[in-house]
Amino acid sequence: MEPREMILVLGANGQIGTELVTALRAKYGATSVIASDIRQARDNSNGPFELLDIMNPVAVNEAFAKHKVTQVYHLAAILSATGEQNPRLAWQVNMDGLLNVLEASVQFGVKKVFWPSSIAVFGNHSKKRLTPQYAVTDPDTIYGISKLAGERWCNYYYRTRGLDVRSLRYPGLISYGSKPGGGTTDYAVEIFYEAKAHGQYTCFLREDQRLPMMYMPDAIKATLALMEADGDKLRIRSSYNVSSLSFTPAELANAIKVQLPLFAVNYAPDFRQVIAETWPGSIDDNYARLDWGWEPDYDLQAMVADMLVHIPN
């Protein structure tokens, strides 16, 4: 009989972790999935939870040993907008934290590691439309710099230590399960709450700022599909481009107005506009489609309809 999987999720209380833990528990059973974060969960009654700072290598090693961890989903990070407020902290959490996790994974014989990268690895000189897998990567933000370096570390651990690391360059993620944690794409979540609560939203990006986006159910589907894929078929061990939606704030607002005709949006771009301008508008994810059969389920209309159903008035 195959030994039981023991799955550790680091940064489990964030926007992705909240929903990924639920999906993993549905698949593997509640007690096989240990949620962990530097902050306490609002509700940790659904399964095991550990308070854990990924910056503390001793504590990370202890958690790996204690739970006999076989798979890791390492989500703990400082995102793009927050990272620009404290670049040194962002570098330390995103880089030292990743190295602590990769090192522990090798030391404790972990079978598979998932770590997300981002469209933030691209920069001003990357192709803006249908940005290919192997585009110029010249990120301006400390977040993007740390993600690009992280991708190379993941590839390095795969090549030199045989660690089965898998990664996606997520676009901006839209969800109602948990609020986003300080990114440039957060407007695409805030807009729904403000539309429902006040019928009005002031957007911090320009109305024509096109960005690649994805609805959370598709992000969870992509993550699980990549982790279940045949490792021999994965040609990319840095991070896969993965794509679904591409829209501007004005296009998103118009899609919401179809259902809430009185909804009004103003635009007051701030420092996050400068970040967004360096990122692609859409992504070519051919490698993901060919290597592990990636295909999203949600288009813009379906995502908007589902968000509006789930966000309270």
> Distance between CA 38 and CA 13 in Å, rounded?
9
Among 172, 212, 217, 281, binds ligand SER (CB under 6 A): 172
**From 73, 143, 201, 287, the catalytic residue:** 143
H/E segment holding residue 193: helix 187-198
Residue 181 site contact among ligand NAD, ligand SER, none (CB < 5 to 8 Å, cut-off depends on kind): ligand NAD
- Minimum separation from the CB atom of position 171 to ligand SER (A): 7
Which of 155, 148, 94 has the alpha carbon at shortest distance from 123?
148
Among 15, 71, 100, 209, binds ligand NAD (CB under 6 A): 15
CB atoms within 10 A of CB 151: 22
Name, in order, each residue with C-beta under 8 angstroms of 275's C-beta and a sequence gap of 6 or more.
Answer: 80, 81, 84, 140, 141, 184
User: Closer to ligand SER at the Cβ: 80 or 175?
Assistant: 80
User: Closer to ligand NAD at the Cβ: 38 or 260?
Assistant: 38
User: Closer to ligand SER at the Cβ: 17 or 183?
Assistant: 183
Binding positions for ligand SER, 44-83, rule CB under 6 A: 79-80
38 binds ligand NAD (CB under 6 A): yes
Expressed in angstroms, the distance from the first to the final Cα of the chain is 50
Binding positions for ligand NAD, 160-199, rule CB under 6 A: 170, 172-173, 180-183, 185
User: Closer to ligand NAD at the Cβ: 97 or 280?
Assistant: 97
Piece of the chain touching ligand SER by CB under 6 A; list 31-39, 96-104, 156-164, 178-186? 178-186
Alpha helices in 86-181 (DSSP H): 87-91, 97-107, 142-161
* Amino acid identity at 197: A
> Distance between CA 239 and CA 28 in Å, rounded?
25
| Beta pairing partners, 113 | 72, 165
Q: Is 201 a catalytic residue?
A: no
- Minimum separation from the CB atom of position 87 to ligand NAD (A): 15
Which of 80, 88, 76 has the alpha carbon at shortest distance from 38?
76
Mark residue 293 as left, alpha or beta (left: phi above 0; alpha: psi -120 to 50; beta: remaining).
left
Residue 38 site contact among ligand NAD, ligand SER, none (CB < 5 to 8 Å, cut-off depends on kind): ligand NAD
CB atoms within 10 A of CB 295: 12
- Minimum separation from the CB atom of position 50 to ligand NAD (A): 10
118 binds ligand SER (CB under 6 A): yes
The residues that are catalytic are 143
Give the binding site for ligand NAD (CB under 6 A).
10-11, 13-17, 37-39, 52-55, 75-77, 79, 93, 97, 116, 118, 170, 172-173, 180-183, 185
